Amino acid sequence: MLNEGKSQSTVYNYSLSIEEYLRWYDETYSIEFRKLFRSNIIECRSYILNVKKHEGKNLSGKTVNSKLSSLRRFNDFLIRRNIQKEIVIDHKVFLDENLA
């Protein structure tokens, strides 16, 4: 991402979001992460929107979309590394800013 002109701050925040997803995955499924699945992304999105809200961390639609965007980048990375073949994150999992 740095080679694409992204700032160190952006790379850092994307990394944090991916780490957060991997922690959530481990706590939710108690199995080793191997690849992304669309159903897991949707479940994680629901967790971010609902559970975090009850913890007093009501995240804006922009923040949730940023977390999802980092996972889309992670999906691309997994494909480039031949760990995964399919794209599982599309615009349908992102929030409509007007609804968030």
In the chain the beta strands, taken as DSSP E runs, fall at: none
Which is nearest to 41 in space by CA: 73, 10, 85?
73
| pLDDT for the residue numbered 100 | 40
List all residues 6 or more positions away from 62 whose beta carbon is below 8 Å from its beta carbon.
97, 100
Count the neighbouring beta carbons within 10 Å of the beta carbon of residue 56.
6
Separation between Cα atoms, residue 63 and residue 17, nearest integer Å: 10
Q: Which tokens belong to 9?
A: 């701050």
When pLDDT is cut at 50, 70 and 90, the band that residue 98 belongs to is: very low
* Spans of all domains in the chain: 2-93
Per residue in 14-61, pLDDT (tens digit) is 999 999 999 999 999 999 999 999 999 999 998 888 876 666 777 788
Q: Which tokens belong to 18?
A: 């991916």
Q: Which tokens belong to 86?
A: 């399919």
CATH class of 2-93: mainly alpha
| pLDDT for the residue numbered 7 | 84
